[in-house]
Every structure is written in C-alpha cells, then in structure tokens.
Amino acid sequence: MSEATGKRFSGQDGGAEARDTDWDGVRLHVVSGKGGTGKTTVAAALALALAAGGRKVLLVEVEGRQGIAQVFDLPPLPYEERKIAVAPGGGDVYALAIDPEEAMLEYLEMFYGMKRMGKALTRMGVVDFATTIAPGLRDVLVTGKTSEAVRRRDKSGRRVYDAIVMDAPPTGRIARFLNVTQEVAGLARMGPVKNHADLVRGVLTSPETAVHFVTLLEEMPVQETLDGIAEMRASGLPAGGVFINMVRPAGLPESALQAASGSRFDPAELALGLKAAGLADGAADATLIAEALAEEVTEHALRTELEKRERLTLESAGTHRYDLPLLPDGADLAGLYELAEALRDQGAA
C-alpha cells in the first residue's frame, strides 16, 4: 500500500470484485496538477486502474482541450458518454468531454423545460454570453454534470458507474472551480440555480470525493501541490493523494551518487577503468570519455539529491503518495496500461 493512513474504494454496490485500496468508498476522483506534470495522462491511467476487474468507470474532461482523445489516440470526443477502452480483467472505461453550452441546454430542460428555447438562445449567442460574464455559472454547469453521473442509478437501483474520474483544471484554478457554492452566490441566492449548486457542493464535499494532485519532483510543481492541498482543506474540500509522475530510476548505486554529489568522484580512476575494459583507445581517449561521463554522473547525482529533498517536502502533506515511472517511449496506450498497473500495485485503485 502507499504511504500515509486510511483505506478507501470498493466496487459498484458490491457488484464488482472486492479489493482493498487507499480510497475505499470514494466514487469521484478529481485529478488536478500544475501544467506539464502529465495530469491528463495520470487521470486516464487512474480510470483504467479503477475499471480493472470488471468495473465501469467514467473519465470526464472539463476544459474542452480534447486531452482524453489525444491520450487514447481517438478522434475528438462528442458531448456524450461513450466507451473508449477495456481495462485489465474486463472492466470498461467510458469518456465524456463536457461542453458548457450543451450542459446549459440540459440544465434549462431539467429545471425549466426550456430546451427548445435554449437552442434558440444558443443561436442568438445568449448562452455563450451568459457563461462568459458569469464564469461561476460555467463551473457549476460542468461540475453539476459530473455530480449527476456520480449519483445516477439504473432501473434496478444500482449505480451506473463504479467511479468517476475528472480531469480537472490545474492547481491554480482548482479551488475556485470546485467551490461552487461561493461561485454561484453572486448569481442566485435562491431558486433552481442555488439549489443545483448546493446539490453539487454536497457531492464535492462528501466522503465519496477525493481531490488528487499530480506533481513532478521539482520545486515549483511540489510547492503548487502543497498549496493546492492546503486550499482544499481550507475550503472544506476532501484532499486526496499525490501522484508523483515521471519518476526516474536511480541508475547508480548510492555510494557513487554520494561521491559525485560530494565532488569526490575521480574521473582519472574512471579513465583507468575504461582503458582496462577496452572501452577506450589510448589514454587520451579514455580521459575524454571519463570526463564526459563524470559530468553526466554529477548532474544525475545532483538531480537525485534535489528529488530526494522534494520527496521529503511532499511528506508534510500527510497524504498518500504514489510513484509513476517515466515512460521511455512516451505516454502511448501501452504506457497508460503500465501506469495503471503501477497505481494498482501501490493501492491507489
């Protein structure tokens, strides 16, 4: 299991294979992170991991970037839930790229019976105008669509999805995006909009939700992660785990790393070893190769020391942490399954 305490996540009302994980009971996994950390890739891998073993998981995109389609190498996704992948053990991953305009039309039909009027307003540009001047309304519509998927049941009363994974906005905007009650306060103090926002807030602040953060072992992403977790807790939102992405293997024994970082690495000794092993032609060639290797080893050692410090810094968050390997061939579909397996091995799903 991962670091820290607690266990959460199980199957669909007992319908899927039982499995103890760190997120037993959580049904909505919100994934945020600083740009460039691989947030969408990690969200996709988490969806695959949660679906493994026969579960049904919905992967939701809210920023209109079609990032899910790119990660799974698919054409742009329409505004509808559709199956995009089969997880290990026969589970299914569905995807939904939420369009705020379409979400507003659904909202108008649901609460006011005005879908036909809503389409007319769309043609007039009123819908786009409304969500532009009131971005809080846009966030309520997007989070509301996700919350509806969390609550949805089929005719037999079973949950339609075992879990929902939201590829959410980056850390700089996540607290405001999720804090829908505050965002809607200036739009409506009563009526359907207010009631809708309160319903969404109830889902987001419940034990069924966890807000996870993706980071790299670098100073800025780590600090943004800690700030994001602090914002979640201050806003009454449930902080989840930390996914440390693109983790490089050490590559060298600890003694060599310590020698290199402490300026005790001897290129001359390395040159002798290269020459004795027949990996260099003559002393001059061995010296040139040794100096180049020594520089790379020193840079690797310094980066490793930095990563150790950032890892220690992340411990202060007091939450679960998961390592995801750097994929040598990039985040292709095979890589997603590799990351999903790593998450399951560590108890994230």
Domain residue spans of the chain: 12-248+326-343, 254-296
Q: Which pLDDT tens digit goes with each residue over 66-87?
A: 999 999 999 999 999 999 999 9
CA atoms of 19 and 24, how far apart (whole Å) = 8
DSSP 178: H
Number of Cβ within a 10 Å radius of residue 162 = 24
pLDDT for the residue 12:
46
CA atoms of 138 and 177, how far apart (whole Å) = 9
Report the CATH fold assignment for 12-248+326-343: Rossmann fold (3.40.50)
pLDDT of 7 strictly over 50: no
Q: Which pLDDT tens digit goes with each residue over 96-151?
A: 999 877 776 776 665 555 555 545 555 545 455 455 545 567 787 788 889 999 99
pLDDT band at 281 (very low <50, low <70, confident <90, very high): confident
pLDDT for the residue 147:
92
Nearest to residue 183, comparing CAs of 145, 228, 146, 138? 138
Q: Which pLDDT tens digit goes with each residue over 13-60?
A: 544 555 689 999 999 999 999 999 999 999 999 999 999 999 999 999
pLDDT for the residue 83:
98
Q: Which pLDDT tens digit goes with each residue over 179-213?
A: 876 666 555 566 666 777 788 889 999 999 999 99
CA atoms of 29 and 210, how far apart (whole Å) = 5
> What is the bridge-based pairing of β-strands 209-215 and 239-247?
parallel
What is the chain's alpha carbon radius of gyration, rounded to the nearest angstrom? 24
CA atoms of 316 and 210, how far apart (whole Å) = 18
